[in-house]
């Protein structure tokens, strides 16, 4: 990476932020032959992009709002995402139990329209279920008062591993991508943004990256970068973030291969119980938040809400003692007025129909935020379109490219994402993992020493958290077990990264993080 950086004095595109949005832009630009650099303050996908509900979906709820175009577009994106990495994104059946007379027929009708909109890209047919069928397909559902249900299809994925695969595909197209490199200043020349000064968080050295086009894709932190543009600290904020909490419990609460969807909780929200990598993910909430910490914690009432609602729809109600891990994601909700004509902004295309917003400042800084994981590619293409419109990139940026699979993606999945699978998430690279030293030395029944080595050598891992939270998802699945593995993983990291790696400090830091995932809560709202 450093060799690529030194060999290039001027880049076509500098992307700030290595989540779904930034990686999507880097990949699409690099695949069209542009010289792309991407800098990420933490690890790739360490922000919202590893903390999603893990759904690749067309947005059933937008259908109820009559937003047909948006749903059709997201269904198309869903199909592309699943096809691009079958080992990391797969169809999943969802069952909506119905406890009210006639409800399942209405829900069924809506979901048949959903199927029709997906057309040949559909993942499975919607079925209206009797009470007995619902119980059979959704073992674990609360049978009291159950009248029937509806089964429909969307998809699920491993968000962080998918992001890493995007980073590696962009690298294969010639992009240079740096984790643990934070933008601390925007470079400007004659009133135009022309690059950024970057702090390498490991060496504490700074370096400048010059580019004709700078893309701010920093999710909920997008306003921090916008404020770096000289003299414009007082501009209106693009975002009003909210947080979403997920709780992870044992598979016994919902055995089987199907997810549970409650379309209308007591306070009108949607609740999911999803089988994922051998556990059940419950979520989520939508709580406004003023601050944007890198490691947000849940408010106690959010945990109570999820447990209470899950308890209403599951035969066996989970309690706090059943929680194995919990994580929180910050939603980049766009609040900027689409007609913003303030002096600071030349273009504000609040594309509510797409749920994401692109703003290009007078100095040429392009900020993109909002949207959802599923539609990352549409967002990236919109960014390239805006770059051409503002003469930041030539028209060749609009060139179509053949859809291809991501790095390491096999033609077919060899295991379901609902189960823990030892090697399936490595796709075509499983043999490479097995060829590394200590492939037979296991840290758990599913996780080998060779996988830690692979994470460092091929997947940019630098810390215990990188390995146990995003390359292997143990912190998200079982924070207690993740804490127990901290030391052995740290010792392998020292072998791989060199004697400078401080095992003791790394283990202490990771143990503190595990406490958060085990139940640390915010005290005040």
Residues that bind ligand FAD (CB under 6 A): 16-22, 39-42, 46-49, 52-55, 182-183, 217-221, 225, 244, 284, 329-332, 369, 371-374
Shortest Cβ 147–ligand FAD spacing (Å) = 28
Closest CA to 85 of 422, 411, 432: 411
Which residues, 6+ apart, have CB-to-CB distance to 293 below 8 Å? none
Q: State the nearest-atom distance from the C-beta of 229 to ligand FAD, in Å.
A: 13
CA distance 375 to 75: 9
How far apart CA 436 and CA 446 sit, in angstroms, is: 16
Q: By C-beta, is 200 or 496 nearer to ligand FAD?
A: 200
Residue 372 C-beta: closest distance to ligand FAD, Å: 3
Cβ proximity to ligand FAD, 244 vs 427, nearer residue: 244
Which residues are registered as beta bridge partners of 11? 211
From residue 194, give the alpha-carbon distance in Å to each of 45, 99, 210. 25, 59, 6
Of 330 and 363, CB closest to ligand FAD: 330
Specify the residue, 87 or 356, whose C-beta has the smaller distance to ligand FAD: 356
Residue 77 to residue 368: CA distance in whole angstroms:
18
CB of 349 to ligand FAD, least distance (A): 16
For the bound state, the minimum distance from the C-beta of residue 157 to ligand FAD, rounded and expressed in Å, comes to 8
Which residues, at least 6 apart from 268, have a Cβ–Cβ distance to it below 8 Å?
none
The three-state secondary structure class of 321 is: helix
Answer whether 522's CB lies under 8 Å from 298's CB: yes
**Tokens, residue 21:** 């949005």
Q: Quick one: 214 or 492, whose CB is closer to ligand FAD?
A: 214
Judge if the upstream peptide bond of residue 362 is cis by omega within 30 degrees of 0: no
Tell me how long the chain is: 525
Phi, psi (5° rounding) for residue 318? -70, 150
- Rounded to a whole number of angstroms, the minimum distance from the CB of residue 56 to ligand FAD is 6
Residue 244 CB, shortest distance to ligand FAD, in Å, is 2
Nearest residue to 26 (alpha-carbon basis) of 44, 7, 13: 13
Nearer to ligand FAD, 104 or 354 (CB): 354
**Three-state secondary structure of 157-173:** ECHHHHHHHHHHHHHHC
CA trace torsion 488, 492, 497, 499 (10° rounding): 70
What separation, in Å, do the N-terminal and C-terminal C-alpha atoms of the chain show? 42
Residues 6+ apart with CB under 8 A from 392: 212, 213, 364, 366
Nearest to ligand FAD of 30, 483 (CB atom):
30
Between 221 and 313, name the residue whose CB sits nearer to ligand FAD: 221
Measured CA distances, 500 to 2, 247, 377, 495, 503 (Å):
19, 36, 39, 10, 9
Q: In sequence order, what E strands does 304-456 have? A: 325-331, 345-351, 356-361, 366-370
CB 427 to ligand FAD: min, Å: 21
CA neighbor of 409 nearest in space, from 30, 173, 90:
90
| Closer CB to ligand FAD, 219 or 318, in the complex | 219
By beta-carbon proximity to ligand FAD, the closer residue of 128 and 254 is 254
Tell me whether residue 237 or residue 441 sits nearer to ligand FAD (CB atom). 237
Closest approach of Cβ 468 to ligand FAD, in Å?
18
42/122 with CB nearer ligand FAD: 42
Question: Which one, 12 or 223, has the nearer CB to ligand FAD?
Answer: 223
> Minimum CB separation from ligand FAD for residue 284, in Å?
5
Residue 162 near residue 22, CB atoms below 8 Å: no
For residue 208, the minimal CB distance to ligand FAD (Å) is 14
CB of 214 to ligand FAD, least distance (A): 11
Taking residue 364's Cβ as centre, other Cβ atoms within 10 Å add up to 20
Strand 36-39 vs strand 10-16: parallel, antiparallel, or unpaired? parallel
Shortest Cβ 47–ligand FAD spacing (Å): 3
């Amino acid at each position: 990476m450093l060799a690529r950086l030194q060999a290039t004095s001027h880049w076509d595109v500098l992307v700030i932020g290595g989540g779904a949005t930034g990686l999507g832009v880097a990949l699409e630009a690099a695949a069209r032959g542009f010289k792309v650099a991407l800098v990420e303050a933490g690890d790739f996908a360490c922000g919202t992009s590893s903390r999603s509900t893990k759904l690749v979906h067309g947005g059933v709820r937008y259908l109820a709002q009559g937003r047909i175009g948006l749903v059709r577009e997201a269904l198309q994106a869903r199909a592309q995402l699943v096809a691009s990495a079958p080992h990391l994104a797969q169809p999943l059946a969802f069952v909506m139990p119905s406890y009210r007379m006639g409800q399942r027929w209405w829900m069924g009708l809506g979901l048949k329209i959903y199927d029709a909109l997906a057309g040949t890209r559909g993942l499975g047919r919607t079925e209206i279920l009797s009470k007995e069928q619902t119980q059979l397909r959704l073992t674990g559902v609360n049978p009291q008062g159950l009248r029937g249900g509806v089964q429909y299809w969307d998809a699920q994925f491993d968000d962080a591993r998918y992001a890493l695969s995007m980073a590696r595909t962009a690298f294969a197209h010639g992009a240079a991508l740096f984790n643990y490199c934070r933008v601390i200043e925007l470079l400007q020349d004659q009133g135009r943004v022309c690059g950024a000064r970057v702090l390498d968080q490991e060496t504490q050295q700074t370096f400048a990256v010059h580019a004709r086009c700078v893309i701010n894709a920093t999710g909920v932190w997008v306003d921090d970068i916008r404020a770096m543009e000289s003299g414009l600290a007082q501009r209106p904020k693009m975002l009003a973030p909210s947080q979403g909490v997920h709780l992870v419990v044992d598979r016994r609460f919902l055995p089987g291969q199907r997810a549970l969807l409650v379309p209308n909780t007591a306070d009108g929200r949607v609740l999911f119980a999803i089988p994922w990598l051998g556990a059940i993910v419950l979520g989520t909430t939508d709580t406004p938040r003023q601050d944007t910490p890198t490691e947000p914690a849940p408010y106690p009432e959010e945990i109570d809400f999820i447990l209470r609602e899950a308890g209403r729809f599951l035969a066996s109600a989970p309690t706090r003692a059943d929680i194995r891990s919990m994580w929180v994601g910050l939603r980049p909700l766009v609040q900027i007025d689409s007609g913003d004509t303030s002096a600071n902004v030349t273009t504000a295309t609040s594309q509510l129909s797409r749920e994401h917003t692109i703003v290009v400042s007078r100095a040429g800084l392009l900020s993109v935020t909002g949207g959802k994981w599923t539609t990352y590619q549409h967002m990236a293409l919109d960014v390239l379109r805006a770059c051409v419109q503002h003469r930041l990139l030539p028209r060749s940026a609009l060139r179509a490219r053949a859809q291809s699979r991501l790095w390491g993606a096999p033609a077919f999945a060899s295991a379901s994402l609902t189960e823990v699978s030892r090697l399936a998430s490595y796709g075509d690279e499983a043999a490479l993992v097995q060829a590394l030293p200590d492939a037979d030395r296991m840290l758990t029944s599913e996780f080998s020493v060779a996988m830690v080595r692979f994470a460092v050598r091929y997947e940019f891992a630098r810390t215990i958290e990188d390995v146990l939270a995003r390359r292997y998802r143990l912190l998200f699945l079982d924070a207690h077990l993740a804490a127990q593995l901290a030391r052995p993983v740290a010792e392998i990291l020292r072998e791989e990264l060199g004697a400078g790696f401080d095992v003791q400090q790394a283990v202490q830091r990771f143990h503190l993080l595990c406490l958060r995932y085990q139940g640390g809560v915010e005290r005040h709202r």
